[in-house]
Amino acid sequence: MTSSSLERSTARAMAARLWLRILCIAVATGGVLQARAQPDLKGFISIDCGIEAKTGYVDDMTTLSYVPDDGFTDGAGTNHNISVEYMTPSISKRYHNLRSFPDGARSCYTLRSLVPGLKYLIRAVFMYGNYDGLNKLPVFDLYIGVDFLTTVNITRPDGAALEEAIVVVPDDFVQVCLVNTGAGTPFISGLDLRPLKSTLYPQVTETQGLSLFGRWNFGPTSNTEIIRYPEDPHDRVWLPWINPTDWAVISTTLTVQHIENDIFEAPSSVMRTAITPRNASANLQFSWEAYTQPKDPVPGYIANFHFAELQLLPSNAVREFRINLNGRPVYNESYKPTYLYTDAIFNRKPFLRYLMYNISINATANSTLPPIINAVEVFSIIPTTSVGTDSHDASAMMEIKAKYEMKKNWVGDPCVPNTLAWDRLTCSYSSSSRPRITSLNMSSSGLTGDISSSFTSLKAVQYLNLSNNNLTGSIPDALSQLPSLTVLDLTGNQLSGSIPYGLLKRIQDGSLDLRYGNNPNLCTNGNSCQLAERKNKLVIYIVVPIVLVVVIVSIAVIFFCLRTRRPGPVSNSIGPQNEKKANAPKNGDQMHSSLPRLENRRFTYQELEMMTNNFQQELGRGGFGCVYDGFLEDHTRVAVKLMFKNSQQGDKEFLAEAQILTRIHHKNLVSMIGYSKDGDNMALVYEYMPEGTLHEHIAENSNRRFLPWRQRLLIALESAQGLEYLHKGCNPPLIHRDVKTTNILLNAMLEAKIADFGLSKAFNQNNDTHVSTNTLVGTPGYVDPEYLMTMQPTTKSDVYSFGIVLLELVTGKSALLKDLDNTSIIQWVEQHLVRGNIEDVVDARMHGDHDINSVWKAIDIALKCTMQESARRPTMTDVVALLQECIELENKCSKYGNMTSHFYTTNSENHHSSYNMYNVDQSTNVIQSDDAFEVRHDIARVSMDIGPVAR
């Protein structure tokens, strides 16, 4: 052959690629079929995209039934007809319409009821036909599941582009996804799925698929002689490749048989024709140019050359040849085709990568006849190693999506690629296994109906939030079988029935935080159970174990923290021992209802970044780390405390400590919502306290709203209650070790909560805001002198620091007075009191709006708290009681209207409140009651204790 004929062949080959893209000139008519989103009896799925729902039809030529696509797309996309100028009679009905996907990055067709592990041929066809009147040819990406197949580049409006893959489908479904790459709106005209025997196409494995470049039949004389179903039972589309200048046609009317165990099963009608060089002494040549695209610049090609001898050769005739690619043999031995039997020469490993693939089939020296070829298939390799989400998880998510009609971006694989992962879920990615779904937040999503059993298939889920929906029915017990589930939030639904036994058990062993509040019909304990509708014996069997479990759970909780919630101020004087006895058996309900507060959520660093918008807004900076503003998925505002990295704390200790902290709940302790230990990043996530620190409110240059005396007293009481809980409610007692006004936070209602408790234990820190190095923890001005000497913190160290806080509340001064050479606030108060002028120490901003008796009492309490000897300091329980009396003083005072803060008659029955009628004007001189003397006495003593040191 001459070089010019080579060029012509090349030109033909490229034309063939083009022909591939303008195929299917088949006229279709036929009966209307019901829409069927399932394979037919042959296992075929044949979809005509963009026709109206319920308007399927049978294609006359292929006899295949085409179904509309609405059952495959979850309602995404819009239907269009191609523009009339392209709707010529020769265009198959299938191309008259299409579905386009203007919204969303990824749009998918889900093909179901497949056999996992089987090979499937998946074919998508695209004809633009200026359907949108924009005359802009789009380019977009096509994926099979999570594997990139090809970039669909529509290069002409009247051509039908065909893309085909042969892959092993790992699940009982496969998704075909169009991904918008910003180069035009993705659309699709038709989609086919054909099952293949697993022995076919041995190049296709679980890790490697084939993307069709061309499937050509040699020998037809007309470009319209396309062969597919029913001639090819697998409905492959064989396009004619015609070059009458160089090639002569050989054909037969006989059937060409498959050899045994044929791995390609090229159909007889394709094999019945072949080509041979017109010039009998020449060789057969054809070529193709690599179809390069951005994601696969030079693909690795696989070729299947199909041969069958069509002429009955005389005994002395030999047809023998070799196949060469770019001058090198692709198959070492010479080859003789067999009469009327199909056979193939193919490669398993892709060819070396070339820009041009020149095939020449050369007769051997012994051959008496020129070479022939019947058909060729060329594929490029696509890796199918990018594994999708665990198939159980993915199936469950698709069922959940369908059941609750979730739109959002819930399209395609839930986790892969992570750039297109579904909203509201978190996936874990690992190199050794398929991605798993670890959290799912469907809060406030308008869910109705019952809780889908598919949730119980999400075996790796740790956090499941279905709160604030309209879910009805009962809670499935199977949820307790989710081994990793630690938080299940069902708050704010219409659920009924009782909490299943399995879940109660999980709560009991501390492995699950179940939140179910605000479900009015839910029976959460024996008493309030409304089981009237279903009064039968079963109920007894269900209720009895629950009551038992509730009691067990209560005891388990008491074991850790004696009290979860104070019933009210009246009981404050009850000692913890009493309360334990009194509460455990009868207070089971209350304990139970407080159980869901046991929060224990662990965040990844990535989640923290998302929550805080990359740590954008710093709220404050403390001894242990920086605090950032953040939001949970449900828009709950949180404070994220990212620990400084110089902690010497081991990971295990941190985790243990953090887990403990998440279980401590009291209305006067800042709630910890969760924690994070991700690499060496450690963080704690707290409830957000909108009014900031107490320090901000009482500092002299404060721009926060001013706190009146009564408010200050309440804050003192609430802080004391928080500390008391740490000391008495927790076993062993939790010593705060850093009580100060910046560690007392205020919520929107100005209620005080203690922050940073437990941290001193959790972290060995070393920071300049803290006075000492290894073990000493605290802030200058607040540190218990006894602790300083012994290095042994006690609960009384916290009492000391609290006394300082109380003095700050009274005076509005800092713990150390900067302008007075860092004089201690205790010293400053004492100096003024010794001079007998109480109004001198009271924060001038209060403008006398306070009862002087309660101020006196507060100072008394503060000075008792700050006694040098810890043994003489009151306990926090005492302090709480004293402060309550203080507030009673203030309240009684208020009752007398205008007399407030001037006259006060004591309740003589109350020993602690026995301050006598008391006149502000006399306050500095007249101290009449024993208690007042007691105060005086203490002051004197304290002054003496501290005096020598200070002066």
Ligand X SMILES: *[C@@H]1O[C@H](CO)[C@@H](O)[C@H](O)[C@H]1NC(C)=O
List residues forming the annotated binding site for ATP.
641
Among residues 132, 738, 784, 798, which one is catalytic?
Answer: 738
Q: Quick one: 422 exposed, middle or buried, by C-beta within 10 A (0-12, 13-18, 19+)? A: buried
List the one residue out of 892, 572, 824, 891 whose CA is nearest residue 720: 572
Q: How far is CA 627 from the centre of its chain?
A: 23
442 vs 855, which CB is nearer to ligand X? 442
Shortest distance (Å) from residue 723 CB to ligand X: 39
Backbone angles phi and psi of 107, in degrees to 5: -130, 135
Region of 464-472, 653-661, 701-709, 816-824 interacting with ligand X (CB under 6 A) = 464-472
**Binds ligand X by CB under 6 A, chosen from 80, 319, 506, 740:** 80
Q: Where are the beta strands (DSSP E) in 220-270?
A: 239-241, 247-251, 257-258
Q: What is the DSSP letter of 435?
A: -
**Which of 208, 223, 251, 293 lies at the binding interface for ligand X (CB under 6 A)?**
293
- Closest separation in Å from C-beta 448 to ligand X: 7
State which of positions 844-873 bind ligand X (CB under 6 A): none
Among 446, 483, 567, 836, binds ligand X (CB under 6 A): 446
Q: Interface with ligand X by CB under 6 A: which range of 73-81, 557-565, 756-764, 819-827?
A: 73-81
Contact call for residue 402 and ligand X (CB under 6 A): no
Query: Where would I find the beta strands (DSSP E) of 751-858?
Result: 752-754, 816-817, 823-824
Which of 130, 151, 511, 875 touches ligand X by CB under 6 A?
Answer: 151
Q: Which 3 state secondary structure label does DSSP give 805?
A: helix
Residue type, position 363, single letter:
A
Does residue 746 contact residue 706 with C-beta atoms inside 8 Å? no
Three-state secondary structure call for residue 363: strand
Q: Are 713 and 655 in contact (CB under 8 A)?
A: no
Q: Are 116 and 172 in contact (CB under 8 A)?
A: yes
Strands 448-449 and 470-471, sheet pairing: parallel
Asked, as a colleague might, if the bond just before 732 is cis with ω within 30 of 0, I would say: yes
153 or 453: CB nearest ligand X: 153
Say which residues have a Cβ less than 8 Å from residue 369's Cβ, sequence separation at least 6: 280, 313, 317, 318, 319, 363
- The site string for ligand X over 84-103 (x = CB under 6 A, - otherwise) reads -------------x------
Pairing, β 513-515 against β 487-489:
parallel
Contact segment (CB under 6 A) with ligand X among 75-83, 351-359, 609-617, 637-645 equals: 75-83
Instruction: In angstroms, give the least distance from the CB of 366 to ligand X.
Output: 3
In whole angstroms, the minimum distance from the beta carbon of 328 to ligand X comes to: 7
**C-beta neighbour count of 438 within 10 angstroms:** 18
Q: 877, 623, 590, 926: which is closest to 765 by C-alpha?
A: 623
For the purposes of burial, counting CB atoms within 10 Å of the CB of 799, is it exposed (0-12), middle (13-18) or buried (19 or more)?
buried
Please identify which residue in 130, 283, 453, 868 interacts with ligand X, judged by CB under 6 A.
283
Q: Which residues make up each annotated binding site?
A: 641
Compute the distance between CA of residue 239 and CA of residue 11 in angstroms, rounded to an integer.
16
d(CA 60, CA 919): 109
Closer CB to ligand X, residue 6 or residue 940?
Answer: 6
Residues within window 310-369 making contact with ligand X, judged by CB under 6 A? 324, 327, 334, 360, 362, 364-366
Binding test (CB under 6 A) with ligand X, winner from 153, 347, 518, 594: 153
Min dist. Cβ of residue 700 to ligand X (A): 47
DSSP state of 669: B
Binding residues for ligand X restricted to 100-139, rule: CB under 6 A: 139
Range 713-772, binding ligand X (CB under 6 A): none
Provide the minimum distance between the beta carbon of 347 and ligand X in the complex, in angstroms, as a whole number.
Answer: 17
**CB of 384 or CB of 468, closer to ligand X:** 468
Interface region with ligand X, contact rule CB under 6 A, candidates 79-87, 118-126, 695-703, 801-809:
79-87
Q: Which of 310, 314, 371 is nearest to 340 (CA)?
A: 310
Three-state SS letters, 581-621: HHHHHHCHHHHHHHHHHCCCEEECHHHHHHHCCCCCCEEEE
- The single residue among 15, 61, 79, 257 that binds ligand X, judged by CB under 6 A, is 79
Which is nearer to ligand X, 283 or 347 (by Cβ)? Answer: 283
Total of chain residues touching ligand X, rule CB under 6 A: 24
Whether the ω angle into residue 230 lies within 30 degrees of 0, i.e. cis, is yes
Q: Which C-beta is closer to ligand X: that of 293 or that of 923? A: 293
The β-bridge relationship of strands 341-346 and 257-258 is parallel
Mutual angle of helices 852-865 and 930-950, in 10-degree steps: 50
Q: Which is nearer to ligand X, 293 or 391 (CB)?
A: 293
| Residue among 3 and 432 whose Cβ is closer to ligand X | 3
Q: Cα–Cα distance between 793 and 727 in angstroms, integer?
A: 12
The radius of gyration of the chain from alpha carbons, rounded to an integer in Å, stands at 41
Stretch that binds ligand X, among 149-157, 505-513, 557-565, 721-729 (CB under 6 A): 149-157
Minimum CB separation from ligand X for residue 376, in Å? 17
Minimal distance, residue 216 CB to ligand X, in Å? 20
Q: Which of residues 5, 81, 831, 914 is near ligand X by CB under 6 A?
A: 81
Using the contact rule CB under 6 A, the part of the chain among 468-476, 556-564, 624-632, 895-903 near ligand X is: 468-476
Q: Closest separation between CB of residue 868 and ligand X, Å?
A: 59
Tell me which DSSP letter residue 457 carries. Answer: G
Among 439, 468, 572, 797, binds ligand X (CB under 6 A): 468
Other beta carbons less than 10 A from residue 769's beta carbon? 15
3-state secondary structure of 707: coil
Q: Which is nearer to ligand X, 137 or 950 (CB)?
A: 137
Per CB under 6 A, the segment of 78-86, 348-356, 374-382, 730-738 that binds ligand X is 78-86
**Residues 786 to 845: which contact ligand X by CB under 6 A?**
none
Asked if 738 is an active-site residue, the reply is: yes
Closest CB to ligand X among residues 79, 484? 79
- In the complex, least distance from residue 362 CB atom to ligand X, rounded to whole angstroms: 4
Distance CA 128, CA 95 (A): 9
Q: How far is the CB of 599 from ligand X (least distance, A)?
A: 22
| Phi-psi category of residue 44: left, alpha or beta, with phi > 0 → left and psi -120 to 50 → alpha | beta
Give the residue from 128, 124, 129 showing the smallest Cα distance to 141.
124
Comparison of 360 and 913: residue with beta carbon closer to ligand X:
360
Neighbours of 41 (CB within 10 A): 5
Residue (360 or 795) nearer to ligand X, CB = 360
Side chain identity, residue 791:
M
Supply the minimum distance, in Å, between the C-beta of residue 84 and ligand X. Answer: 9
Instruction: Give the interface with ligand X as residue ranges (CB under 6 A).
Output: 1, 79-81, 97, 139, 151, 153, 155, 283, 293-294, 324, 327, 334, 360, 362, 364-366, 446, 468-470
Catalytic residue positions?
Answer: 738
